[in-house]
Amino acid sequence: MKPSDARHIPVLGPEAVGLLAPRAGGIYVDGTFGAGGYTRLILETAGSRVIAIDRDPSAIAGGADLVTEAGGRLTLVQDRFSNLADVCAAQGAATVDGVVMDIGVSSMQLDQAERGFSFRFDGPLDMRMGRDGPSAADVVARASETDLANIIYIFGEERYSRHVARAIVAARSETPITTTKALADIVAKVVRAKPGEIHPATRTFQGLRIFVNEELDELHQALDAAERVLKPSGRLAVVSFHSLEDRIVKTFLAERSKTGGGSRHLPEVAQAAPSFTLLSKRPIVAGDAEVAANPRARSAKLRGAERTESPAHAAGDLPGWPTLASVMRAGR
């Protein structure tokens, strides 16, 4: 690709693609295509091929020109990145040389009022990345007070979650909560923010968005899928933006790169051979210049690892937190 084509540089983009070390003939997966920033950077390596995935139909439509420009080196697929192994297989790539993921909501989605992701703009309370399934308004209308409190506490890390849930249930008994402004106003009445602190609705919106899109379950499953499709010496690069995501990535890579077991006082515990080698002990973070140009980069953490020749570990069970299906079923 020509340098002039690099219209969108994602957070820690050069660093993430640098960890992948793309080469001619290599096949790479961009699990979160978005505006195509990582894909463009990978395609700058002549002869590389990218399979890019996004669940948002707007992102797929927006990538049509890049597909044409790539001249057959880019395949764009609308799907969840948890399905990346199946997506690769369908494209004739049983194994790949690299996987990159940028976790969470995109700046484009946040900036579109009609998508309902942000309290900065008044719009429908939607928050769905894929435009399918229950919306945030559906969850707010049907979830029990207990489920709402758990959702907002677990996924939003909001310590006043019970107060917020109680206020939502009281408000919806009077009138449906269907807009971002309506929800933000309800939350602001029970969560007080001091000057200079984040908006009182920030954590509630985060919790609902993560829940509606099943983002943390998706991340768990996507990491397992990446482990299965990466070739020996293939590389994984993951950029996360808050502690919930980063904790999952950090734990996954720590478990998959662990060697040995036991101690001189205890017998060695049998465990699977390491399937990854860490590329850095600490996460890579954005420099001052990038943070100044893009404040969202301040919270970004990049972790990377290289696949070993050992078999993939067995996928672990998902955490026992509330699920979209169970909450909506109980709310009928």
Give the residue numbers of the binding site for S-adenosyl-L-methionine: 36-38, 54, 81, 102, 109
DSSP letter at 187?
H
> Under a CB-based contact definition with an 8 Å cutoff, are residues 84 and 222 in contact?
yes
| Residue 81: alpha-carbon gap to chain centroid | 9
- Counting beta carbons within 10 angstroms of the beta carbon of residue 187, is it exposed (0 to 12), middle (13 to 18) or buried (19 or more)? buried
User: How many Å apart are CA 6 and CA 28, to the nearest integer?
Assistant: 18
Q: Where are the beta strands (DSSP E) in the chain?
A: 27-30, 49-54, 74-78, 96-102, 230-240, 276-278, 301-307
Distances (CA, A) of 18 to 77, 111, 196, 283, 316: 24, 28, 36, 14, 29
**Which residues are bridge partners to 8 per DSSP?**
none
User: Residue 141: helix, strand or coil by DSSP?
Assistant: helix
What are the angstrom distances between the C-alpha of 132 and each of 55, 75, 80, 127, 261? 10, 23, 12, 10, 45
Give residue 103's identity as a one-letter amino acid code.
Answer: I
Binding site, by residue number, is 36-38, 54, 81, 102, 109
